Amino acid sequence: SRGTVLVTGGAGYVGSHCCQAFVKAGWNVVVFDNLSRGWRDFVRWGPLIEGDILDADALARAFAEVKPDAVAHFAALAYVGESVDDPGLYYRTNACGTLNLLEAMVAAGVPRLVFSSTCATYGEPQLMPIGEDCPQSPVNPYGWSKLIVERMLADFDRAHGLKSVALRYFNAAGADPGGAIGERHAPETHLIPLAIRAAERGGDFALTVFGDDFATPDGTCIRDYIHVADLAEAHLAALAYLVKGGATTALNLGTGQGHSVRQVIDTVARLAGRLVRHSVGSRRVGDPPELVADPSRAAAVLGWQARRPGLDAILGDALAWHERERQRQGTAV
Ligand code: UDP
């Protein structure tokens, strides 16, 4: 074994896919998750410690028991709208929770961390694609709660030698190509699962497109959708980088390609062979017209790049998983 990774939030969407990749590559994994947003059936690659990052004693006990060589930290809340309505919840969970985790790591002498950050830390940049040196100026409490952690990481390195890689995800999408796990949120707010729901349910459910009057070629927002299996490989590369003694850094994880909401809808319709019922509604507050990564620094530092770019690969795996999920629930249409 390469050692043990304690994976907070390992029962969630990105965390569970990373557990799978870590174990495939020879790491042992222990998941620490309170199951508030995660799923017990997504914990398949190691034991689950049910615990909360807001509970410092539970964290200390987990470190004493697991003695991890590294931590991958996914446990967080990630709904932009909810963060606007309840900023305290976001600062407490994402910022205070991570502070607890960092202090537990220092106390236990665990020297390396891979952290889930986000392109939401950039806010609404004008220049595309977005490089890591783009000014970080979040436009909602979610983005701020993640940016504050990036600040903590720099300071904890300086004071305690804790080495970290903050990975700024663009739009995580898709599902395990093997079909074991996928994107499940309750409530679901994300474009791709909702477009798939509209395809599956036919007339029963319509997607709302949040604005089609943006200054983009088809008027809908452009995002950099990155396959969750590619994200997982980047986390693995970040762990390897830290084990080799790499310096604390922050890296964008995207494909460098942007796709519009309309392109997502059209591709789901084509791959599913069904209509994706939708109507055009108003813009969502804080939605920039375009967010596309410059992923070249991750390529240079980690030797990583997305191997499954393009909507067909991402949406094909997403559709296959949703189909399985529907069969499991016995509500196949
Ligand atoms: N979107 C949409 N209708 C929906 C959900 C999302 O038009 O019901 C758009 C949203 O405005 C954005 C893109 O789809 O341009 C991706 O949104 P999502 O919530 O999936 O991810 P985000 O970019 O907010 O992280």
ipTM value, please give it.
Answer: 0.99
* H helix intervals, 26-138: 56-66, 80-85, 87-90, 97-108
User: What's the CA-to-centroid distance between 191 and ligand 1, angstroms?
Assistant: 5
Whether the ω angle into residue 129 lies within 30 degrees of 0, i.e. cis, is: yes
Pocket test for ligand 1, best of 80, 121, 197, 210 (most atoms within 8 A of CB): 210
User: What's the CA-to-centroid distance between 297 and ligand 1, angstroms?
Assistant: 26
pLDDT at position 331, please? Answer: 56
Q: Where in the sequence numbering do the catalytic residues fall? A: 142
Say which amino acid occupies 104: A
Q: Whose CA is nearest to atom 20 of ligand 1?
A: 190
CA distance 95 to 112: 18
Q: Return the biggest CA–CA distance within the chain.
A: 58
Annotated domain spans of the chain: 4-173+225-253, 191-223+256-293+308-328
Say which amino acid occupies 65: E
Q: Whose CA is nearest to atom 14 of ligand 1?
A: 191
Fold type of domain 4-173+225-253: Rossmann fold (3.40.50)
CATH number of 191-223+256-293+308-328: 3.90.25.10
| DSSP category for residue 31 | E
Q: Count how many residues are written for the chain.
A: 333
Residue owning tokens 């319709």 = 269
Per-residue pLDDT of the chain (333 residues; tens, 9 = 90+): 899 999 999 999 999 999 999 999 999 999 999 999 999 999 999 999 999 999 999 999 999 999 999 999 999 999 999 999 999 999 999 999 999 999 999 999 999 999 999 999 999 999 999 999 999 999 999 999 999 999 999 999 999 999 999 999 999 999 999 999 999 999 999 999 999 999 999 879 999 999 999 999 999 999 999 999 999 999 999 999 999 999 999 999 999 999 999 999 999 999 999 999 999 999 998 889 999 999 999 999 999 999 999 999 999 999 999 999 999 887 544
